[in-house]
A and B are shown apart, each in its own frame.
Chain A
Amino acid sequence: MSPFASVPGFVEQKESFGETTVVVDRERLVEAAEHARDELGFNFFVDMTPTDYLGWGSRGVAGYWGSPPPSSTRGWEPAQRDINTPFPGSQGLPRMPEPKPKRFSVSYHLLALEQPPRRLRLKVWADEGEPVPSVVSVWPAADWFEREAWDMMGITIEGHPNLVRIIMDEDWEGHPLRKDYPLGGEPVRFSDED
Chain B
Amino acid sequence: MAVVAKPAGVLATGARPYEGTKIPSPIPTVLQVDEELRESGDILEINFGPNHPSTHGVLRLVVELNGERVVGIKPMIGYLHTGFEKNMEAKTWWKAITYAPRIDYLAFQHNELVFVLAIEKLLELETPPKAVWMRTLLCELNRLHSHLVWLGTGSLEMGAISMFWYCFRERESILDLFELVAGFRMHTRYFQTGGLAEDVPVGFYAECQSFADAMPARIDEYEAMLDGQKIFLERTQGIGHLSAADAIAMGQSGPILRASGVDWDLRKRQPYLAYDQLDFDVPTRPTGDTYDRFKVRLLEMRESVRIIQQCLDGMPDGPWISDDRKVVLPPRHELHTSMESLIHHFKIVTEGYRVPEGEVYVPIESPRGEMGCYVVSDGGPRPWRVHFRAPSFVALQGTAMFVRDTLIADMIAILASLDPVMGEVDR
Interface residues of A (CB under 8 A from B): 16-17, 19, 21, 37, 43-47, 49, 51-53, 56-57, 59, 61-62, 64, 91, 93-98, 107, 109, 112-117, 119, 121, 136-141, 143-144, 152, 161-162, 165-169, 176-177, 181, 183
Which residues of B are found within 8 Å of A141, using beta-carbon distances? 28, 249-251, 394, 397
Partner of B1, one of A17, A96, A140, A167: A140
Do A143 and B378 touch across chains, with their CB atoms under 8 A apart? no
Q: In the docked arrangement, what's the CA distance between A59 and B27, Å?
A: 40
Partner of A46, one of B4, B251, B262, B426: B251
Assess A44 versus B248: contact at CB under 8 Å? Given A113-B264, A143-B29.
yes
Minimal Cβ-Cβ distance residue in B for A152:
B85
Minimal Cβ-Cβ distance residue in B for A181:
B86
Do B372 and A109 touch across chains, with their CB atoms under 8 A apart? yes
User: 26 A–B contact pairs at CB < 8 A?
Assistant: A17-B358, A19-B360, A43-B7, A44-B4, A44-B248, A49-B385, A56-B378, A61-B380, A61-B382, A64-B380, A98-B357, A107-B374, A109-B374, A113-B248, A116-B269, A119-B361, A141-B250, A143-B28, A143-B29, A162-B27, A165-B78, A167-B78, A167-B81, A168-B81, A176-B86, A183-B87
Minimal Cβ-Cβ distance residue in A for B354:
A93
Do B248 and A43 touch across chains, with their CB atoms under 8 A apart? yes
Nearest CB in chain B: distance from A80 CB, A: 19
Chain B residues 145-185 with CB under 8 Å of chain A are none
The 9 closest A-B pairs by CB, nearest first: A141-B251, A140-B28, A113-B7, A47-B389, A167-B78, A49-B387, A43-B4, A97-B378, A162-B27
Residue B202 at the A interface, CB < 8 A? no
Q: In the docked arrangement, what's the CA distance between A144 and B87, Å?
A: 22
Nearest CB in chain A: distance from B192 CB, A: 21
Do B10 and A166 touch across chains, with their CB atoms under 8 A apart? no
Residue B314 at the A interface, CB < 8 A? no
Q: In the docked arrangement, what's the CA distance between A61 and B251, Å?
A: 39
Do B83 and A52 touch across chains, with their CB atoms under 8 A apart? no
Which residues of B are found within 8 Å of A43, using beta-carbon distances? 4-5, 7, 248
Residue B282 at the A interface, CB < 8 A? no
Nearest CB in chain A: distance from B13 CB, A: 16
Nearest CB in chain B: distance from A40 CB, A: 13
Minimal Cβ-Cβ distance residue in A for B26:
A161
Chain B residues 1-53 with CB under 8 Å of chain A are 1-2, 4-5, 7-10, 23, 26-30
Which residues of B are found within 8 Å of A19, using beta-carbon distances? 359-361
Do A56 and B384 touch across chains, with their CB atoms under 8 A apart? yes
Assess A93 versus B30: contact at CB under 8 Å? Given A46-B363, A46-B389, A138-B2.
no
Contact with A along B343-357 (1 / 0, CB 8 A): 000000001001011
Which residues of A are found within 8 Å of B380, using beta-carbon distances? 59, 61, 64, 93
**Which interface residue of B28, B250, B356 has the most chain A CB atoms within 10 A?**
B28
Q: In the docked arrangement, what's the CA distance between A138 and B114, Å?
A: 28
Count chain B residues whose beta carbon lies closer than 8 angstroms to a beta carbon of A: 59
Which residues of B are found within 8 Å of A177, using beta-carbon distances? 85-86
Nearest CB in chain B: distance from A38 CB, A: 8
Which residues of A are found within 8 Å of B358, using beta-carbon distances? 16-17
Which residues of A are found within 8 Å of B27, using beta-carbon distances? 143, 161-162
Partner of A117, one of B121, B269, B378: B269
Chain B contact residues: helix, strand, loop or mixed: loop
Residue B316 at the A interface, CB < 8 A? no
Chain A contact residues: helix, strand, loop or mixed: loop
Do A139 and B385 touch across chains, with their CB atoms under 8 A apart? no
Q: In the docked arrangement, what's the CA distance between A19 and B27, Å?
A: 32
Partner of B78, one of A136, A139, A166, A181: A166
Residue B376 at the A interface, CB < 8 A? yes
Do B7 and A109 touch across chains, with their CB atoms under 8 A apart? no
Partner of B374, one of A49, A59, A168: A49
Partner of B384, one of A45, A51, A94, A140: A51
Do B397 and A168 touch across chains, with their CB atoms under 8 A apart? no
Which residues of A are found within 8 Å of B85, using beta-carbon distances? 152, 177
Do B83 and A176 touch across chains, with their CB atoms under 8 A apart? yes
Assess A136 versus B389: contact at CB under 8 Å? Given A62-B351, A98-B357, A113-B264.
no
Nearest CB in chain B: distance from A25 CB, A: 20
Do B389 and A113 touch across chains, with their CB atoms under 8 A apart? no
Residue B77 at the A interface, CB < 8 A? yes
Q: In the docked arrangement, what's the CA distance between A17 and B85, Å?
A: 22
Residue B90 at the A interface, CB < 8 A? yes
Which residues of A are found within 8 Å of B90, using beta-carbon distances? 183
Nearest CB in chain A: distance from B331 CB, A: 24
Nearest CB in chain B: distance from A171 CB, A: 13
Q: A17-B122, A19-B359, A51-B384 are in contact. List 9 more A-B contacts (CB 8 A).
A: A44-B7, A56-B384, A94-B379, A113-B262, A115-B10, A115-B269, A139-B4, A140-B249, A161-B27
Nearest CB in chain B: distance from A46 CB, A: 6
Assess A45 versus B251: contact at CB under 8 Å? Given A57-B378, A140-B23, A183-B87.
yes
